[in-house]
Amino acid sequence: MSNVDIADVSNYVYSLRYMSNPANGKKLYASNCVSCHETPATIKLKGNAATKRTLADLDDRLLDLRIRHGRHVRKAGNHITKLSADDIQDVIAYMRKAIH
């Protein structure tokens, strides 16, 4: 298996661990993220994450940190910080599904 294949499998298994719900993530993405990021595929990485090539290269922990504490809080508003850990996992699961 290639490194990309291994990452895909590990991301899939990780999403099962949290029983994430990509359908709920899609709704949350639409209400919280779409004003700045039309689709997950259009997300441009900036800052420290820019050393990675694509969104798929970022692990869930880093995505979670960027969503909760990054520029998103200023741009999207403080309601982003009120999303639960499960909500964030749902959004990440949707994003991963949408880019593959």
pLDDT digit string, tens, across residues 65-87: 888 877 767 776 667 778 898 99
Angle at 84 between CA 12 and CA 29, to 5 degrees: 65
Chain segment 28-50, per-residue pLDDT in tens: 999 888 888 889 988 887 776 66
Q: Whole-structure pTM over 0.75, yes or no? A: no
Among the listed residues 45, 26, 8, the one whose alpha carbon sits nearest the alpha carbon of residue 95 = 26
Q: H or E stretch including 16?
A: helix 3-17
Residue at token pair 């639960």: 84
pLDDT on residue 56: 83
Q: What is the pLDDT of residue 22?
A: 92
